[in-house]
Amino acid sequence: MSRPKHRIGIPGAYFVTTRTWQGRELFRNESLAKTLLETLLDCRKRGFYLLHDFVIMPDHLHLILTPGNETSLERAVQMIKGGSSHQMGETLRIAFQVWQKGFHEHWIRSEDDYQARKHYIEWNPVNAKLASTPSEYPYSSASGRYALDTFGMTSAAKAAADVGIERRG
């Protein structure tokens, strides 16, 4: 399978999806899910990105993030995947590959686009029959348990304009 090509350098928020190696449902294991969650929040705290929304599903991760000023999208995702794999190996003695190579991203182009992807993230565990309501699922920003960064098209549009990119849609 070829690696997806990424569009580096476009400022703004991204909807990102990355999958576990061979679709293994690793994050049904509470310890593994918590380790990924801790890594996700720690990388945010360290300034690699602004975290707007996320959900950890049994075999994949969805998130909406805005890379930090000194961080590319690729580097932000690498910190999440590499950091969580390393931590799982260190603390839980996981000795197998955790993540599939690469990831898929979608550049958020409008407030409506953001709201649609946020809704998808919130309802993903319900649609997968892992919870009855979005707020019931513990590994999701929809649970209300985690501090998140506010999403705003104003700052994203300004960042894009600063580098000469016109947002459409």
- Output the tens digit of pLDDT for each of the chain's 169 residues: 444 444 455 779 999 999 999 999 999 999 999 999 999 999 999 999 999 999 999 999 999 999 998 899 999 999 999 999 999 988 878 778 899 999 999 999 999 999 999 999 999 999 999 999 999 999 999 999 998 999 987 555 555 545 454 444 4
Our measurement of the distance from residue 77's CA atom to the centroid of its chain's CA atoms, rounded to an integer in Å, reads: 8
Task: Kindly state whether residue 37 falls inside one of the protein's structural domains.
Answer: yes
Would you give the DSSP letter of residue 53? E
| Boundaries of domain holding 37 | 14-160
- Contact (Cβ atoms closer than 8 angstroms) between residue 20 and residue 101: no
Task: Kindly state whether residue 62 falls inside one of the protein's structural domains.
Answer: yes
Task: Please state whether the predicted TM-score (pTM) of the whole model is above 0.75.
Answer: yes
Task: Kindly state whether residue 8 falls inside one of the protein's structural domains.
Answer: no
Burial of 127 (0-12, 13-18, 19+ CB in 10 A): exposed
Task: Kindly state whether residue 78 falls inside one of the protein's structural domains.
Answer: yes
CA angle (100, 61, 13) in 5-degree steps? 110
Which residue do the tokens 């975290």 mark?
51
Residue 117: which CATH number?
3.30.70.1290
Number of domains in the chain: 1
Closest CA to 139 of 33, 42, 24: 33
Task: Kindly state whether residue 169 falls inside one of the protein's structural domains.
Answer: no
Tally DSSP H helices, then E strands, for the chain.
4, 4
Q: How far apart, in whole angstroms, are the C-alpha atoms of residue 17 and residue 19?
A: 7
Task: Kindly state whether residue 4 falls inside one of the protein's structural domains.
Answer: no
pLDDT of residue 53: 98
| Cβ count near 164 (within 10 Å) | 6
Q: How far apart, in whole angstroms, are the C-alpha atoms of residue 153 and residue 85?
A: 32
Task: Kindly state whether residue 130 falls inside one of the protein's structural domains.
Answer: yes
pLDDT of residue 6: 47
Task: Kindly state whether residue 91 falls inside one of the protein's structural domains.
Answer: yes
